[in-house]
Amino acid sequence: MSQATASRAPAVDMTHRQILEALSGLLLGLFVAILSSTVISNALPRIITELHGGQSAYTWVVTSALLATTATTPIWGKLADLTSKKTLVQLALGVYVLGSVLAGLAQGTGELIACRVVQGVGAGGLTALAQVIMATMISPRERGRYSGYLGAVMAVGTIGGPLIGGVIVDTSWLGWRWCFYVGVPFAIAALVVLQKTLHLPVIKRKAQIDWWGATLITAAVSVLLIWVSLAGDQFAWASWQTVVMVVGALLLGALAIRVETRAAEPVIPPHLFRSRTITLAVVASIAVGVGLFGASIFLGQYFQISRGESPTMAGLMTLPMILGLLVASTVGGRIITRTGRWKRFLVLGSALLTVGFALMGTLRADTSFTLLSVYMALIGVGLGLTMQNLVLAVQNTVGPHELGAASSVVAFFRSLGGAIGVSALGAVLAHKVKDYTADGLAQLGIPASSSGSGGTLPDVHTLPGPLRAVVESAYGHGAGDIFLAAAPFALIALIAVSFIKEVPLRQHSGNPVSGAVDGESNLVSGVVRTGEQR
């Protein structure tokens, strides 16, 4: 099928009830994807301790899944433009179930990290396809309303995940392995619901995935993340290993760009970046990803180690941030649907995110929880106003035949930002905690080498009083440092969205008229009605 023909692909015209029925299984699948990353957030200190891992393993259990999600998101998105979206989302659910079961059976941190990669592949499909399928069914103007539902589901998954994980770890007859098994019933239920409710026109195009491009992109990102997570710990930042890894990542990235520009069906179509909106949204998505994953993933560790809370209580203490995300995404989505205007929400959200991270930079072990709640709420509102609306802004600039690629580009770079954020901020935290612990022990007259930590995460409840105070203070101060390090990224997002040109959301889900030089498109006047196919 030619691009001209594809660009006139029929749009789906559905009632509100039909959309909600179709979205039910889709949102359940998205909940599973969110659950896979959040359910372990408060359980990780216990998991890593029992598997005898250290801060590096703590970081890579999270990073491995994010890396797999990042690398596969554009592939899922491209496949969605070429074949059945329904089949793909069901396949993603199957991969997720396999990864979850294997992760629950892991006997060491290495096995767990490998299984998390499989989980990440499935989660990448669910994350990308949820955006693509929704865009296929719903016009950009109405999409703001339903994006609020996606934001609400993400909030529920983020709220429920840490709480479920904390309860599981605190329940002796369950154990941490059920943190991975718990998502399986939801995934199976999503499969059944999707089979019954999701009916989309299947428009297949004869084309091949650019596997060389996908491989090179994955390799470049992997080398970069390995360098960030190991530098400063296994070797010095200024060392021959750093030179080799950085140069290698740059060469692989340059080769990937060369391959993508020549590929007939590139995984990340280079021409999309001719649009100012898409380019700036990508920059903002990287920055938001750092904030979403890079900083917030360490909150559970802060509450359990620095404040001595249980996994369940650690989950409850993050509620201000999640409730802020829930309210902002739901209310903001409805206002956008009524007005068709979205840029003000991106600017406001990025500003709140910047302020929230800067204030969290003052975090210490004894910080008032009232102040901490306000800071977390600001971050939550900021995330709620930016995440879905960045995707919405991008989808408003492309035709139906490129919804998959464009949506997945935003998700790809957001996940990339998150993966880099987790690795980089995890390395910063490990370095800072080591220094602060050494300083605290020196004040007590204890050599740092005699602390016996060996690089593993400490169980503060088993430490003697003075040593426990040193460890709690070190992790509290270190947590503040990583939020402070994340603040400039939020500022970059604010600057990027400020320069995005606002185009009112289209009333229909048909294809925008092509021809705008920078990729920004005019409006179309109608929607082609199609019969529902399998």
Instruction: Please report, for residues 13, 23, 24, 27, the alpha-carbon distance to residue 193 in angstroms, rounded to integers and kept in the order given.
Output: 21, 10, 7, 10
Lowest pLDDT segment from 69-83, 207-221, 381-395, 502-516: 502-516
SS3 for 281? helix
- In a shared domain, residues 180 and 77: yes
Percent of the chain clearing pLDDT 90 (strictly above)? 19
- In a shared domain, residues 109 and 216: no
Residues 6 or more apart in contact with residue 40 via CB below 8 angstroms: 47, 61, 62, 165, 179, 180
State how far the Cα of 417 lies from the Cα of 110, in Å rounded to an integer. 23
Q: Does residue 426 fall inside a structural domain?
A: yes
Task: Assess contact for 309 and 121: CB atoms under 8 A.
Answer: no
- In a shared domain, residues 361 and 229: no
Per-residue pLDDT at 508: 53
Could you count the other beta carbons within 10 Å of the beta carbon of residue 454? 8
Q: Is pLDDT above 80 for 227?
A: yes
Domain span holding position 220: 210-264
Structure tokens at 102: 């294997």
- In a shared domain, residues 108 and 239: no
- In a shared domain, residues 220 and 337: no
Q: Does residue 509 fall inside a structural domain?
A: no
Q: Does residue 512 fall inside a structural domain?
A: no
- Condensed to tens digits (0 to 9), the pLDDT of residues 168-178 reads 888 878 888 89
Eight-state DSSP code of residue 302: I
Can you spell out the DSSP letters for 337-375? Answer: HHH---HHHHHHHHHHHHHHHHHHTT--TT--HHHHHHH
Alpha-helical runs (H) found in 171-266 = 178-181, 183-197, 211-230, 240-262
- In a shared domain, residues 142 and 244: no
Q: Does residue 320 fall inside a structural domain?
A: yes
Could you count the other beta carbons within 10 Å of the beta carbon of residue 452? 9
- In a shared domain, residues 199 and 222: no
Task: Assess contact for 228 and 420: CB atoms under 8 A.
Answer: yes
- Condensed to tens digits (0 to 9), the pLDDT of residues 71-100 reads 788 788 778 877 778 888 889 999 999 999
Lowest pLDDT segment from 37-51, 362-376, 381-395, 516-530: 516-530
Structure tokens at 340: 């068709």
- Condensed to tens digits (0 to 9), the pLDDT of residues 6-56 reads 333 444 566 777 788 878 888 888 888 878 777 887 788 788 888 877 767
Give the mean model confidence (pLDDT) for residues 264-285.
87
- Condensed to tens digits (0 to 9), the pLDDT of residues 417-454 reads 877 777 778 878 888 888 898 888 888 877 765 444 44
What is the C-alpha R_g of the chain?
23
Q: Does residue 524 fall inside a structural domain?
A: no
- In a shared domain, residues 312 and 275: yes
Structure tokens at 380: 């939550």
Give the mean model confidence (pLDDT) for residues 510-515.
38
- In a shared domain, residues 112 and 256: no
Structure tokens at 356: 């929230």
Last residue of a domain, one of 230, 264, 298: 264
Q: Does residue 523 fall inside a structural domain?
A: no
State how far the Cα of 248 lies from the Cα of 223, in Å rounded to an integer. 7
Residue 231 has phi, psi (to 5 degrees) of -65, 140
Structure tokens at 427: 């390395």
Give the mean model confidence (pLDDT) for residues 226-245.
80
Q: Residue 161 corresponds to which amino acid?
A: G
- In a shared domain, residues 67 and 86: yes
Residue 466 is part of a domain; what is its CATH number? 1.20.1250.20
Q: Pick the closest to residue 392 from 445, 454, 342, 324 (CA basis).
A: 342
Last residue of a domain, one of 264, 279, 307: 264
**b/e map of 217-238 (b: 16 or more CB within 10 Å)?**
bbbbbbbbbbbbbbbbbeeeee
Structure tokens at 127: 């994350």
- In a shared domain, residues 392 and 253: no
- In a shared domain, residues 280 and 392: yes
Count: domains in the chain: 2
**b/e map of 268-280 (b: 16 or more CB within 10 Å)?**
bbeebeebebbbb
State how far the Cα of 277 lies from the Cα of 395, in Å rounded to an integer. 10
Would you give the distance in Å from CA 420 to the centre of its chain? Answer: 11
Could you count the other beta carbons within 10 Å of the beta carbon of residue 363? 22
